[in-house]
Amino acid sequence: MNLLAFDTSTEFLSIAIARGEELFSFDTLAGQSHSQLILPEIQKLLTSANMQLMDLNGLVFGAGPGSFTGVRIAAGVAQGLAFGANLQVTGVCTLMALAQASGADKVIACLDARMGEVYHAAYVRENGVWQTVCEPGLYKPDAVPAIAGTDWVGAGSGWQTYAEILAAKYDAQLTQVLPQLLPQAHAMIELAQTIFASGQALNAADAMPIYIRNRVALKTAEREQGLRL
């Protein structure tokens, strides 16, 4: 299966193309330059893979949660490319992508959501299929949900920004923490393959972000404090 995936939900831009069993990928710290970089880098990756958009079976995008602007960029690019090439699309939850990228089977995924909050979810993989133990949500780090059991792996930037707070909550239940792990396009392709194979992909018009935080703007005082959504 030939799939193109991309994620712009964090400061990093991640793009990957699966051409059958071959994988071509590009990852960079984009800051706030996702919109300028994503289309040229997609074209470069297609050229490296000796492919054109019409050679793809579908598009995969990081649907969120994440940066409000970032998830909108990904959804917009997915819609535009899919309309132009008559492709179907699927969005992948960034927290589940973290779980997939971790290589573990029990994952507490946690992304820094700015403004003193985290995006949080927990997943268990059974027979190769991820089961949601704790649905994606937005929390203060000291108010994340309790999760039963041991042998969990913590993954994502929330574990770096709020290491002590999250450790106090889950430390006895953890076997490993991967604070540097980010949502990666290659993991999104792995998750999306089953969706496309089972005919559950969507039309371009239905490529929608996953919003958890309702606020889309900061107050003046918050911007002056350097806070970011």
Phi, psi torsion values for 2, nearest 5 degrees: -105, 115
Could you tell me if 110 and 161 lie in one domain? yes
Could you tell me if 61 and 17 lie in one domain? yes
Could you tell me if 146 and 208 lie in one domain? no
User: What CATH number does the domain containing 132 carry?
Assistant: 3.30.420.40
Report pLDDT digits (tens) over 120-163.
Answer: 999 999 999 999 999 999 999 999 999 999 999 999 999 999 99
Q: Using omega within 30 degrees of 0 as the cis cutoff, is the peptide bond preceding 65 cis?
A: yes
Could you tell me if 70 and 109 lie in one domain? no
pLDDT of residue 212: 86
pLDDT of residue 225: 53
Tell me, yes or no, whether 39 lies in a domain: yes
Give how many domains the chain has, as a whole number: 2
Report pLDDT digits (tens) over 23-76.
Answer: 999 999 999 999 999 999 999 999 999 999 999 999 999 999 999 999 999 999
Could you tell me if 34 and 106 lie in one domain? no
DSSP annotation of 115 reads T
Tell me, yes or no, whether 229 lies in a domain: no
Could you tell me if 169 and 139 lie in one domain? yes
